[in-house]
Chain A
Amino acid sequence: KAGVTQTPRYLIKTRGQQVTLSCSPISGHRSVSWYQQTPGQGLQFLFEYFSETQRNKGNFPGRFSGRQFSNSRSEMNVSTLELGDSALYLCASSYGTGLARGTEAFFGQGTRLTVV
Chain B
Amino acid sequence: QQQVKQSPQSLIVQKGGISIINCAYENTAFDYFPWYQQFPGKGPALLIAIRPDVSEKKEGRFTISFNKSAKQFSLHIMDSQPGDSATYFCAASEGGKSTFGDGTTLTVKP
Which residues in A have some Cβ–Cβ distance to B below 8 Å?
A: 4, 33, 35, 42-45, 48, 55-56, 58, 90, 92, 97-102, 104-110
Contacts and interface: CB of A to CB of B under 8 A. Distances in A.
Contacts of B96: 48, 55-56, 97-101
A77 B32 CA distance: 29
B41 A99 contact: no
Q: SS class of chain B's interface: helix, strand, loop or mixed? A: strand
16 contacts: A42-B101, A43-B44, A44-B100, A45-B99, A56-B97, A90-B44, A98-B97, A99-B98, A100-B93, A100-B96, A101-B96, A102-B51, A106-B46, A107-B45, A109-B42, A110-B43
Given A99-B93, A100-B95, A101-B96, A109 B102 contact: no
Nearest to B31: A100
B79 interface: no
Contact of B32 (A35, A100, A107): A100
Interface residues of B, number: 25
B76 to A, nearest CB: 21
Contacts of B100: 35, 42-45
Interface of B: 31-32, 34, 36, 41-46, 49, 51, 89, 91, 93-103
B32 A102 contact: yes
Contacts of B91: 43
A43 B98 CA distance: 9
Contacts of B101: 42
Contacts of B97: 45, 48, 56, 58, 98, 100
A106 B97 CA distance: 15
B31 A109 contact: no
Nearest to B89: A43
A108 B94 CA distance: 22
Interface centre among B41, B43, B89, B91 (most CB of A within 10 A): B43
